[in-house]
Amino acid sequence: MPSLRACSSSLDGTAWPGYASWTPPHGVLETPALLPVINPRTITVPLHELYDEFGFKAVITNSYIIRNNEELREKALSSGLHELLDYKGVIMTDSGTFQSYMYGEVDVRNEDIVAFQRDIGSDIGTVLDIFTEPDWSKERTSEAVDVTLARTEEAAKLKGDMLLAGVVQGSVFPDLRERCARSLASIDADVHPIGGVVPLMEQYRFADLVDVIVASKKGLTPARPVHLFGAGHPMVFALAALLGCDMFDSASYAKFARDGRFMFPEGTASLSDMKGIECHCPACYGHSHEDITAMKPTERTALIARHNLWVSQQELGRVKRAIQEGDLWELVERRCRGHPMLLDALRRLGDHEEFLERTEPLSRDNSLFYTGPETLQRPAVRRYARRFFERYEYPNTEVMIVFDESSKPYSRYRQQEMREVLEQCDSHFFVESVLGPVPIELDEMYPIAQSVLPTRRDKEAVEGLKEMMERMSHEHPYAIAVGWDGRQTLETLSMMCEEAPKFDLDLARVKAVADMQFGRGAGAALLAGRVELKKSENTGKIRNVLVDGEHILSMRANDGFFTLKTAGAERLRKAFPAPRLRVRVKEDSVPFNREGKNVFCTFVEDCDPDIRPMDEVLVVDASDELVAVGRAQLTRDEMFAFKTGIAVKVRDGVKK
């Protein structure tokens, strides 16, 4: 069975593709993927066109409709589903659940519809789950979850070679969603649709959708793909992918087309309201608004359906690129400004920051763009402030000077002022950034140097910063704290200061980055001894850190964090008890890792739960001996869940 990481909740284009593929019987499915819904009785766009022209390598159709129509049923049973639909890609089938939601009870049993899907050669068949509706009581919803789970267990026994979609239900009750998902994870299913969300989509309750997806994801295993059932509007793809949804299906492209509605990533527009067509998709190209309005209804519907498919496919491509390039957050923040209810959803992400932070890589290759106050809720930003307050140790100087935000890196831009201050007093320096208070020596570390902020601050940013500065004022040890005001400050300081300057920016940088990266106390442990810093001749930046003649750390130019050498790793191992900073491997992996070979998921025995993708880690054996040093590619949960794939990219093995 292929394993697949949730496409997008933790991504970094450099470390892994970020999106993935899995292999149902009829081909490899690259995710994120949109499966157009095919009504076997009324086909709006021919399936070979979907495959060849649009590039849809998977579709979803309804086995209940096929089974209820004698002609379709007989043909499907005798020739198979792929022949019936004349489609060579992956075909997923639904079970009749949606019909029961729309029209009341359906006259089919779970075991029969599952066996039928298997017998007609569906690639991915779906359980007859119970569609839990948003206005149901908790008791009723809970009972429906129990029935859904029992039916999924039954289906798992019947699935044969077919992949099974086990649907997460539980409506808007996060605890029921999580319970359902956790139970499903232990059943032999292959993909997990999140069901019961159509009413939320229809009512634009996107913030509730966020809660539902997060609660479901918390219970599911990261090893199986997640499908968002009935989410076919391009305006939600980026958001849903960010939350770890890999697959979507769309009946909307055809439904909207019948109502003359054009889908765009920014929202929906009705032909009758539009004053022109500025779309250059292959369907619209060459057609004016008047042309389309004058068309026969069937022709017009077909054109708009194709437009909707093109736009959806293009948006998925855009999401995929953002995943690979590592800026999906920026895309989501932009897309969520397409509708006020999406903005609510974006703001709701802030409530789930702790969950989202677990898969947020240590750093990303591209700059963090501030698109509005919501950016301050992002895991990368909140992590900075959290680590600052938990891990940072203030240097022991007499004075603290606080600079306003300026060009970056701050230490270069403020070089002259710092020199003048240090000529007369023992000072340390901070910059008031909306991302949090920044000690001058952290100015090259992600996301400080790698963020682009507007010069004019919004009220939320000012408020948030005020709170953080106030918190800092209660914690810092400096006898004198002043905001920088040019000459004035220098004159004041010359009257007040008593101690001789001792602040060393380079040493402070090494210590502070080590503490922020590995935990409080790491800097002291790493730097105990005679410290030598090797700098780049071109940039003047710190490159290598040697202690007592041993190379222990290298500083990366791109994100300002360290790569760990084995001598440094050994110091950390002694300073921090297991399982901190460690990935413990099984005995049979040890000789390979000592040779410098990567750690594969199946060989991971334990792992520090605080390890984040792209963290430097210590690979150790059962007796906590250092075996290798490398970079974690995954979270602990992912390392345990995945049957294949690299858990740690090893850089240096420790030979015996």
- Active site members: 94
Q: Which residues contact 527 (CB under 8 A, 6 or more apart)?
A: 507, 510, 511, 514, 545, 547
Name the segment binding Zn ion (CB under 5 A); options: 73-81, 303-311, 373-381, 592-600: 303-311
What is the C-alpha R_g of the chain? 28
Nearest to 512 by CA among 565, 438, 610, 609: 438
Q: Which of the listed partners (Zn ion, ligand GUN, none) does 503 bind, with a CB threshold of 5 to 8 Å by partner kind? A: none
Task: Report the SS3 class of residue 473.
Answer: helix
Q: Which of the listed partners (Zn ion, ligand GUN, none) does 63 bind, with a CB threshold of 5 to 8 Å by partner kind? A: none
Q: Is 283 exposed, middle or buried (0-12, 13-18, 19+ CB in 10 A)?
A: buried
45 is a contact residue toward Zn ion (CB under 5 A): no
Write the Ramachandran bin of 170: left for phi over 0, alpha for psi from -120 to 50, otherwise beta: left
Task: Tell me the residue ranges of DSSP E strands in 435-530.
Answer: 436-439, 451-452, 480-483
Report how far residue 373's alpha carbon sits from residue 131's, in angstroms, rounded to the nearest whole number: 37
Interior CA angle at 39 toward 187 and 76, to 5°? 70
Q: Which of the listed partners (Zn ion, ligand GUN, none) does 441 bind, with a CB threshold of 5 to 8 Å by partner kind? A: none
**48 — phi, psi (to 5°)?**
-65, -30
Nearer to ligand GUN, 239 or 435 (CB): 239
Q: Which of the listed partners (ligand GUN, Zn ion, none) does 198 bind, with a CB threshold of 5 to 8 Å by partner kind? A: ligand GUN
Q: Residue 610's CB: how many other CB atoms inside 10 A?
A: 13
Q: In angstroms, what is the minimal distance from the CB of 409 to Zn ion?
A: 45
Nearer to ligand GUN, 3 or 250 (CB): 250
- Chain-centroid distance of CA 364 in Å reads 12
- In sign, the C-alpha dihedral spanning 125, 127, 128, 132 is negative
Nearer to ligand GUN, 250 or 451 (CB): 250
Q: In angstroms, what is the minimal distance from the CB of 5 to ligand GUN?
A: 24
Report whether 242 contacts 29 (CB < 8 A). no
**Given the rule CB under 6 A, which residues bind ligand GUN?**
94-95, 97-98, 126, 129, 131, 167, 195-196, 198, 229-230
Nearer to ligand GUN, 138 or 280 (CB): 138
Q: In angstroms, what is the minimal distance from the CB of 230 to ligand GUN?
A: 4
- CA distances to 58, 270, 284, 482 from 292, rounded to whole Å, are 29, 12, 9, 67
Q: Which of the listed partners (Zn ion, ligand GUN, none) does 95 bind, with a CB threshold of 5 to 8 Å by partner kind? A: ligand GUN
Q: Which of the listed partners (ligand GUN, Zn ion, none) does 281 bind, with a CB threshold of 5 to 8 Å by partner kind? A: Zn ion
Q: In angstroms, what is the minimal distance from the CB of 232 to ligand GUN?
A: 10
Q: In angstroms, what is the minimal distance from the CB of 229 to ligand GUN?
A: 4
Nearer to ligand GUN, 169 or 593 (CB): 169
Nearer to ligand GUN, 196 or 219 (CB): 196
281 is a contact residue toward Zn ion (CB under 5 A): yes
Q: In angstroms, what is the minimal distance from the CB of 175 to ligand GUN?
A: 18
Report how far residue 129's alpha carbon sits from residue 126's, in angstroms, rounded to the nearest whole number: 8
Q: Which of the listed partners (ligand GUN, Zn ion, none) does 307 bind, with a CB threshold of 5 to 8 Å by partner kind? A: Zn ion
Nearer to ligand GUN, 97 or 427 (CB): 97
279 is a contact residue toward Zn ion (CB under 5 A): yes
Q: In angstroms, what is the minimal distance from the CB of 129 to ligand GUN?
A: 5
Task: Report the SS3 class of residue 61.
Answer: strand
307 is a contact residue toward Zn ion (CB under 5 A): yes
Report whether 371 contacts 412 (CB < 8 A). no
Q: Contact residues for Zn ion (CB under 5 A)?
A: 279, 281, 284, 307
